[in-house]
């Protein structure tokens, strides 16, 4: 089953810092890199490296960053024919990463902010089933139009960054919603800090019309609520180096597992393994594991959740 990713492409400007700065504080960094990223592009690379046929749909600028972003996708076997290059700047993300791997991110949309209904209409939704993977780093009107077009397909939405202006009928367009704990807190208006509160938040979101909600809790794992069951998948224990793209790795892995027909529980375990491997390396797209690494990891880290 093919995977279509409709979303953002950004160049990540990453500063290594001893700790995350407080408001108004200036810190001396210890390193700086430019890394291809954007939640959409990251998730496309994650899926393609796991062996799934993956197409990226979105926009970049006609600057040097735009060409680098497309080159990076192509290097991971992501199809980029539907990535439109337009006059102006590409999107960028300003990222600070501390010594524990925690991060702060500011996204400047650039070309991503111009994605519109015409881009939603370019989605290659054929007669056969596909997985459509989306995020909120492009305008909501385009995301909503794409979800409507993909009504006969599997729509997975990573609601990042979280939005408070979602129409009441939007949730029913989404098959699987995958917020992290911060996004879940913003969407439901309650603090989500534990497995128990994540289960509460997931049920609130399901009552709004989403079939399945997966709340990503970082080191606490993931909580899943569907029509049939509610369960918790513990996180795999690894030494985190950089958590920047952990959620993107999870979503890419989830899309691949579901496209291959894995059960929901098995798909979440698979996605958790992909995310665990991603945080052991620095960078966004460069940290995404290949399929053999995930399979080897699962053999050496058996999960009791399967």
Catalytic-labelled residue, pool 119, 158, 175, 248: 248
172 annotated as ligand-binding:
no
46 annotated as ligand-binding:
no
112 annotated as ligand-binding:
no
114 annotated as ligand-binding:
no
74 annotated as ligand-binding:
no
Over its C-alpha atoms, the chain yields an Rg (Å, rounded) of 18
193 annotated as ligand-binding:
no
Strand partners, 11: 36, 92
Distance of CA 290 to the CA centre of its chain: 17
- Contacts of residue 61, defined as CB under 8 A and 6 or more positions apart, other chains included, come to 85, 86, 87, 88, 89, 90, 91, 110, 111
166 annotated as ligand-binding:
no
287 annotated as ligand-binding:
yes
Taking alpha carbons only, the member of 189, 144, 183, 138 closest to residue 160 is 183
248 assigned to active site: yes
40 annotated as ligand-binding:
yes
Cis status, amide bond into 156, omega within 30 of 0: no
Strand partners, 21: none
Distance of CA 286 to the CA centre of its chain: 15
247 annotated as ligand-binding:
yes
DSSP structural state of residue 303: -
248 annotated as ligand-binding:
yes
39 annotated as ligand-binding:
yes
- Give the span between the Cα atoms of 175 and 197, in whole angstroms: 22
77 annotated as ligand-binding:
no
42 annotated as ligand-binding:
yes
61 annotated as ligand-binding:
no
Burial 259-290 (b: 16+ CB within 10 A, else e): beebebbbbbbbbbbbbbbbbeebbbbbbbbe
DSSP 3-state of 252: helix
- Give the span between the Cα atoms of 245 and 281, in whole angstroms: 10
Instruction: Tell me the binding residues for substrate.
Output: 10-12, 38-42, 137, 248
Instruction: Tell me the binding residues.
Output: 10-12, 38-42, 137, 180, 216-221, 242, 244, 247-248, 278, 281, 283, 287
Question: Active-site residue numbers?
Answer: 248
Instruction: Tell me the binding residues for K(+).
Output: 242, 244, 278, 281, 283, 287
């Amino acid at each position: 089953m093919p995977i279509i990713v409709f979303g953002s492409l950004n160049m990540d400007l990453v500063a290594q810092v001893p700790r995350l700065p407080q408001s108004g504080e200036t810190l001396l960094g210890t390193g700086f890199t430019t890394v291809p990223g954007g939640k959409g592009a990251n998730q496309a690379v994650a899926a393609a490296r796991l062996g799934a046929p993956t197409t990226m749909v979105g926009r970049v600028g006609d600057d040097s960053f735009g060409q680098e972003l497309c080159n990076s996708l192509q290097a991971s076997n992501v199809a980029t024919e539907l990535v439109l290059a337009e006059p102006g700047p590409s999107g960028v993300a300003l990222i600070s990463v501390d010594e524990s791997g925690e991060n702060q991110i500011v996204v400047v949309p650039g070309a991503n902010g111009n994605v519109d209904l015409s881009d939603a209409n370019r989605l290659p939704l054929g007669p056969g089933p596909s997985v459509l993977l989306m995020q909120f780093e492009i305008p909501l009107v385009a995301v909503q139009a794409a979800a409507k077009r993909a009504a006969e397909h599997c729509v997975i939405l990573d609601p990042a960054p979280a939005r408070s202006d979602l129409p009441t009928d939007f949730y029913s367009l989404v098959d699987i919603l995958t917020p992290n704990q911060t996004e879940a807190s913003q969407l439901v208006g309650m603090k989500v800090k534990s497995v128990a509160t994540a289960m509460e938040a997931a049920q609130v979101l399901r009552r709004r019309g989403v079939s399945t909600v997966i709340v990503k809790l970082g080191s606490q794992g993931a909580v899943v609520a569907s029509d049939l069951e509610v369960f918790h998948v513990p996180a795999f224990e690894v030494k985190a180096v950089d958590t920047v793209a952990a959620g993107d790795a999870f979503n890419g892995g989830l899309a691949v597992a579901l496209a291959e027909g894995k059960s929901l529980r098995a798909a979440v375990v698979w996605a958790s393994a992909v995310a665990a491997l991603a945080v052991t390396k620095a960078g966004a797209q460069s940290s995404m594991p290949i399929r053999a690494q995930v399979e080897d990891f699962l053999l050496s880290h058996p999960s009791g959740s399967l």
